[in-house]
Structure 1
C-alpha cells in the first residue's frame, strides 16, 4: 500500500532474534501457564517467508482450532525507528487478546460451511510467482494473475484475521470452486467497499503531519483504486462493472498499473510514456520500494473502453 516513511538514523538496540525472544518471554509471563508461545514461519505471497509467534492456549482444549499468529516484522521496524519495547510488547499483547475474542472459533464452526460462507472473500496475486502455492489451493486465473480465496474471521480498524482456503477445505465443506467464488465475490464487495480517488487525495488522507494539502498534478490525472481498508485492494478491479465505471470517469482508454496487491494506479492513455516505459517503471519500483510479499505484477494492463476488455500491456 502507498506509504510515506521518514526514517532517521538510530542505533538498533537489539537484533531481530533478540527482539523475537524478548517478545516471546513477555507473552509467556503475561498470558499465563496454559499458554504456549512458539516461533512460527509462514509461507506467504510470492513464496516469501514471514516470521511470527504462534500462540496456543491449552485451556481451550480441542475447541479452539484456529490459533493466532502474531507477525513481528512491522513491530521490529517500529523498534528500529524509535518505539520502546514496552510499548510494542503491550500492543502485541492487546492484539492477541482481541484475536481471542474475535477469532475463537469452535471446531464445528470451521467445518460447517454454513457458519463461514458470509466470511469468504477473494484476493489477487501473481500467478507465476505462486505456482507452488497454487498447487494446494483453489484459484481462478485472471490474465496472468490468480484469484485466491480467504476466510475473513475479523475485519476491524485494529486488525484483520483469517486463513487461506486450501483444496482440503473444499473437500471438508463439500462444495465446488464456483460456489466458493459466488460467495467470495458478494462478500468482498460488501465487506471491502472500493475507493477510487486521485493520488493527491490518497496521500492527503494518509499524511497526518502535512500542514497543507498536496497538489502536484491535476485532480484526475492519476487515480488510486483500492478498498476502504487499503488491504488487498487490487481485487477491487474484479468488482461488478468497475472497469466500465473508471472509463466513464476518464472518458478514454486507460492503463492499470499494479502498484501492489493493495492498490492499483489508473493512468489515462494519453498520459502514458513511450512503449515499455511503464514496465520499466513498475519493475524499478518493485525492486526498490515494494515489499516482496506485496508485489502483484511487473507490467501494466490496458483497458479498451469500446471493446470492454482488459489485457496485459
Structure 2
C-alpha cells in the first residue's frame, strides 16, 4: 500500500469506527528543522480544537509488516490519551493585553528553518546560527502544555511588531518556565532512578564520560525540560553562572530542550567536543529536536556568546 493510500485508509477506517459525531481530517504540518509530518486531526463536530496524531511513524511500522488493526488501535489510544482538557479561551486572543501575557520564545536553528522563518516573526542571531521564535502559551496543566506558533499574519491582526513580541516574551518566558542548572551526574542519577535501571546510569556515565578526570558538565534547561534551550537567552543566566565558577563557559547544544555547560579550561579540546556534538546529533537526537552542530563560548569579561568551534555541517545535513 502506497503512503497516500495508507493515510486515506487510516482516516476512513477510524471515521467508520468513531461515527458521524466525529470530524477527521488529514493535515500536513511543518515542524522544527524543516521536518514535514502528516497528522490526523480527530475531534467532535463543532469543537474549536482537536488533537493531532502523526502518522509517518505508523506507516513505517505498517511497511515492516505490522497489522493495520493494531495501528488503528494505537491511534485511538493516543487520541483518548491526548484529549484537550478544555477548549482554549479563543476570545482572549482578541485582547492585546491578554495576548502579551501569553507570548513566550523558543530557540531553534536558523539554517535548518529558513523556509519556516519567512512566515514567522523571529529574532535572528546570525553569528550563532540560532534564532528566537515566538509562541502563545495557551493552556498549561500538569500533563499538557498547549502552544501556538505566532505567524506574521497574527502581527498584522494584533497590530504588534516583532519587538513587541520580544519584550513580552523576555518577561514571560523566565517567569512561566524558570531556568534550572544541575550537574550532569545529578541528572543522570535522576534518569536512572526514574527508570529503576542502574545499568542505564552506568551507560549514560560512560557515554558522557563523567569520570572524576573529565571536566565538570552542567545541564541548563527550564522547569519543564521542554524547549529548555531557550533559557540560554534568559537575562543574566550565563553571566551569573560564569561569575559563580569564575570562568568562561563552553556551551554544547544537546537539543532544543537543553544545553550542556562546561566551565572552560586550557585542557579542553574544542575540536573533540565539536565532533562529539555532531555525532550525538546524528545518532541520538531526533531530527526535530536538533539545535546546532556548533559549540559556543561565553566570555565572562565581555558578557558575550560566540561560536567557539564551527562544525562543517549545519543542522539538517548528513555527515560531510
TM-score, normalised via structure 1 length: 0.80
SS in 2 for 1:59: coil
User: Displacement of 1:45 after TM fit?
Assistant: 1.0
- Report Cα offsets for 1:4-30 as digits up to 9, x if no partner: xxxxxxxxxx99999977874675466
Aligned to 1:11: none
Query: Residue 306 in 1 paired to residue 301 in 2?
Result: yes
> Does structure 2 retain, via aligned residues, the 8 Å contact 1:103–1:153?
no
Q: 2:105 aligned with 1:111, yes or no?
A: no
Give the Cα–Cα distance (whole angstroms) in 2 for the partners of residues 163 and 124 of structure 1.
15
On the 8 A contact 1:102/1:153 being kept in 2, the answer is: no
In 1: Cα distance, 2:40 partner to 2:16 partner:
15
For the 8 Å contact 1:254–1:268, the answer to whether it is kept is yes
Aligned length: 291
Q: Does 1:217 align with 2:204?
A: no
**Counterpart contact for 1:37–1:53, Cα < 8 Å:** yes
Match of 1:291 in 2: 286
Match runs of 1:89-108 below 5 Å:
89=75, 91-97=77-83, 99=84, 101-106=85-90, 108=91
2:253 matched to 1:269? no
Distance in structure 2 (CA, Å) of the matches to 1:74 and 1:198: 34
Q: Any conservation in 1 of the 2:92–2:99 contact (CA below 8 Å)?
A: yes
Matches within 5 A, 1:142-291: 142=125, 143-207=128-192, 208-211=195-198, 216-218=210-212, 221-270=216-265, 273-291=268-286
SS at match of 1:42: strand
- Equivalent-residue separation in structure 1 for 2:264 and 2:54 (angstroms): 40
Cα distance in 1, alignment partners of residues 148 and 292 from structure 2: 23
Provide the residue aligned with 1:127 in structure 2.
110
Whether the 8 Å contact between 2:53 and 2:79 is mirrored in structure 1 is no
Q: Distance in 1 between matches of 2:115 and 2:225?
A: 27
Q: Provide the alpha-carbon RMSD of the alignment.
A: 3.2
Q: Is the 8 A contact 2:24 2:43 kept in 1?
A: yes
Report the alpha carbon displacement of residue 285 of structure 1 after superposing the two structures with TM: 1.5
Gaps of 5+ in 1: 1-13
